[in-house]
Amino acid sequence: MYQHDIGKRSAKVKNTVEHGAVKKFAEAIGDPNPIYWDEETGKRSRYGRNIAPPTFPRVFDYGVIEGLKLPAKGLIHGEQRFHYERPLFVGEELYCYAEVKDYYEKQSSMGLLGFLVIANNGEDADGNLIFTSTSTIIINEAVRKAMSV
């Protein structure tokens, strides 16, 4: 179903790790660690500045993968993983893009399930990878049938 989309990427989109957004995100997830919002704590840390929570890349814009058509409803969020080369620093600019990494199918007791794997990547201005967030989207039999109509 999505095998022909493997390898497709979006264009890179510039994002900024903004102090206010990091503070609000940390509050929203219930993480009181001052490394995310208190400037003095950031200066005294091993990083010498504030960093963003590990799941913060969820708020970035990754652009649009041209030609990738996902249904508006019925998708299941199966899994998400984050891998970092280094922390995200508050105030830095990075360039983010999405890429279709894989698509495979498995038979289940409820019909054929599709598994679409999308990687969201963040790089610095020199093109050095900072993080990758990999999501697996599950497409159930009902959604597959609705898409083929």
Q: Does the pLDDT value for residue 147 go beyond 80?
A: no
Structural domains for the chain = 3-147 (3.10.129.10)
3-state secondary structure 76-140: EEEEEEEEECCCCECCCEEEEEEEEEEEEEEEECCEEEEEEEEEEEEECCCCCEEEEEEEEEEEC
Give the pLDDT of residue 145. Answer: 74
**3-56 pLDDT, tens digit each:** 999 999 999 999 999 999 999 999 999 999 999 999 999 999 999 999 999 999
What residues form DSSP beta bridges with 82? 133
pTM of the model: 0.90
Name the band, by pLDDT with cuts 50, 70 and 90, for residue 93.
very high
Name the band, by pLDDT with cuts 50, 70 and 90, for residue 149.
low
Q: Does the pLDDT value for residue 131 go beyond 70?
A: yes
Average pLDDT taken over every residue of the chain: 94
